[in-house]
Structures are given as structure tokens and as C-alpha cells.
Chain A
């Protein structure tokens, strides 16, 4: 098993990128997280997470077309790499393992 480093916020961003598939760029990711999860995301935090995961190899990017809406600036679309997928899988598995290891009695509150 490889050593995947994935923080909680990074995981959310990575999942959101996957959700948006080929429409995942700065603003859309931010919007998606804010709407779906109801938590505030700053551009700074988001960009930091994105670039970090890019450096780790979880994300790939490609330039989009220039649009007038953005003052002639191109969008940068992010895509989950196969390695990124592995990291997500690993994260899910680890959680699953822990979930299934919880004895029933642990959540047996108040009875």
C-alpha cells in the first residue's frame, strides 16, 4: 500500500474536481463546495490545496479557452489523475476499514 497524503480539505477538493469532471476550475469548484457542503471556501485556501495536489500528482490541468467574462483570461481546468483516484480509493478504504471495525456496542447509546 502506497503512502497517500491527503488532508481532509484536500479530499473534499479532489472529490469535487471528480464530481465536476471536465467543468472543474477555480470558481466552479469553489461554488460547488460552498453549495453542496455549505462551507465557506477562500480562493487562497482552494488554490493552495489545488496546487499542492498538483505537485503530489493527484491532479492534472489543462488550459481552457479565453472568455470575455473573465476579462480575456483563460480558465485552468483540473482533472483527477489515475494516481489521484488511487489516493481517493485509499482514503475511502481506510475509512471503510475503520467503520467496519467498530463494534456495534460502541454506538449503542443510551439503551
Chain B
């Protein structure tokens, strides 16, 4: 398969409410990405598009992808809409990768958006909850914060993880987002403040839960030939690992069995789990996606071979669980890894240097692509240039991972029903 490169990205400032139309938000993100290429890419050079958005319910406009394809002046070029809950953006990157790698397109614009503000928060939660089993789970009062809370409680029971450890992750992400002008929230939180905040579903308090948001994001994927033309200084990224995993729709149906080992791992190292995996405490789909992506990228020691990760932290607890699924630490050690400083800027493997979903916001269809944009900007050492706002005293350089060569973006749907892992690295 052909090499696929990422040359530019664009996002809108994620906000509780953006009163522009969805199509205008998308165009703003696309214009940002094109402007960053200094006119080297002409609109007519885009050969195909991938459009990602999650919910028809939020807009009550079906075929929004046709509307945006048209609005972007992309007709009659080929396009496809990709949807997969919270993993929508990550799946979009996967689809764009497939488009270019297969030879069907030399240059693909992957764009995503979501506008969640036209309904109340409670109604929004209801729509998202409709992405769980509507015969058996939703009617009992299941909604996403509730499902994740039950998972967090089980992780605490299995491994002794604490609410404080989850809270540390929320504080970390808010602190990082403070230096990111695109983030929806610029707030300072203390550990105590997070723990004392209003409870959503035990043990998750309000600041441990991501916010609904309006936003758009895009990435331009292309062949290496195009990448060298568009980034003559060689500041493009290569997608070296692509993985996708799935799991049961109902959390209660998750099996109990043996861990899927990562490439190079001896399965015996997981014998302490006693065949109780993934159950409700681990994400099998994340482990499977990581296995595929690491295999493709030749990664045998993720903690030391990956420089940073943008991980889907819809909940501070799921970020902790994900450290373990991605092999940054052993299953059950996530809490201790946080306390040792592992995922912090300057730590062993900075996770969510951008501030993640918790602080940047989660406009579902755009999120996975937003992560890809931040990943690209890290590798281009361009965080200061893109994320600063001197007028507000924001210095994006503070969240630049120095010397970053390889980054991982992880996108996650439902209770882990779809999970994608995409690995970007600087060219050799």
C-alpha cells in the first residue's frame, strides 16, 4: 500500500455555542488548513473528501455531508460520510488513509463537525444515550456518564484505583488547555476542587466529564509526492500505524477471558488478571486497535517508542483505563502511573498535551480529527505558532512536546464499541 502523509490541519475554536451554520464552520477550518500551506495547495487539487459527523438528531438535517460537500465547492468529486459515535473522527482519518493508500485518491480532505448547541444539555445527553442499546440499556436510565461511572467503579474494585487519581487527570488536562487558544475551557482546577464539584454519577464529578461543544476540524492527507511539494521543508507527518477495534454494544455483554497481548508481549505477563478481561473494567477494542497500529508501525515498547498521545478523554476515568489498554503501563497500574507523573508534560509519555476532550470540548464529529490536527502540529513543532494568543496571554509553546517524532491519536466511541488508533510520525 502507498505511504499516506498528513500535511495540514485546521480547526475552529470549540465553543458551547457557535452561531454560524455547520457548513460555514467546516469552511473556516478548511480555509485555515489551506492558508497554512501558503497557497501551495489549490482547491482544485483536492481529489476526494471524507465527511464525519455523528448525529442527525442534533441537526435534524440528514445528508449533511451532501450539504457540506456542495458548500465546500467539492462537487462532483468523490466523497463518503463516516460515522461511528465518538470515534467518528478517528474512523474518518482511517477512511482517508484507505482512500489514499489504495490509490483511489492522491489528496484527500478529511473534515468533521458537530453542532450540539441547538438542544438543551439534557436533551443532548438523551441523543447521545440513544447510541446505546435502546431496547435494554437506555430505557433503564442508561446514559453515557452513567455507563462510564459503572466502569470506573469496577476498575476501582479490581485494581484499587481511586477517585483522586481520576481527578489528577482532569486537573492535568485543564492545566494543559490553559495554553491552547482553541480549547473551549480555560479554567484552573485543583484536585480538591475537582473532587468537591457537583457529582454527575459516582465517582465522576462535573469537571471529570467532557463538555458538549460546537466545532469543526479538518486534515489534509496525501501521497508522499504531494507532501514533499506542499511541505518543501519536510515538515509533514507520515501515518505509520492504523488500527481499529470493536466491542459489544451492551457493556454487560463484555466477555471475561484472556488479554489480547501487544506485539512482542508474552501473554503470561497478564496471568494476574485471572482471565477476567476485558469485563467492564478494560477496553478490548482499544487493546485490539493498538495491537494493529503497533504491529504496522513496528512498535514493541509503546512507553518509550511514542513521544506523546492525544487520547479520547470523554471521562477522566476512561483516560486512565486507556493508558493500560494502549500499553503505557500494566493493567491496574494506571493510577500509580499518573501519581508518578507519567502522562504529564515532561513525563514519560505526555497524554493530551492539548488539554484533551475534557478541556477542549467534544463536538463529536470533529473531535477525532481535532486530535489529528494537534498531533500534526506537535510533530511540526508548531504548537506555539498555532495555539498561542498573545492578547489573552496564551503561549502554545508551553504545551509543545520537545523533539516529538512520533505521536498517537486514539478515538473512542460508545462504551468502547469502536476505537481507532492512528500513529503519525516525522518522515525518516
- Same complex for A and B? Answer no
Using a CB–CB cutoff of 8 Å, the interface residues on chain A facing chain B are: none
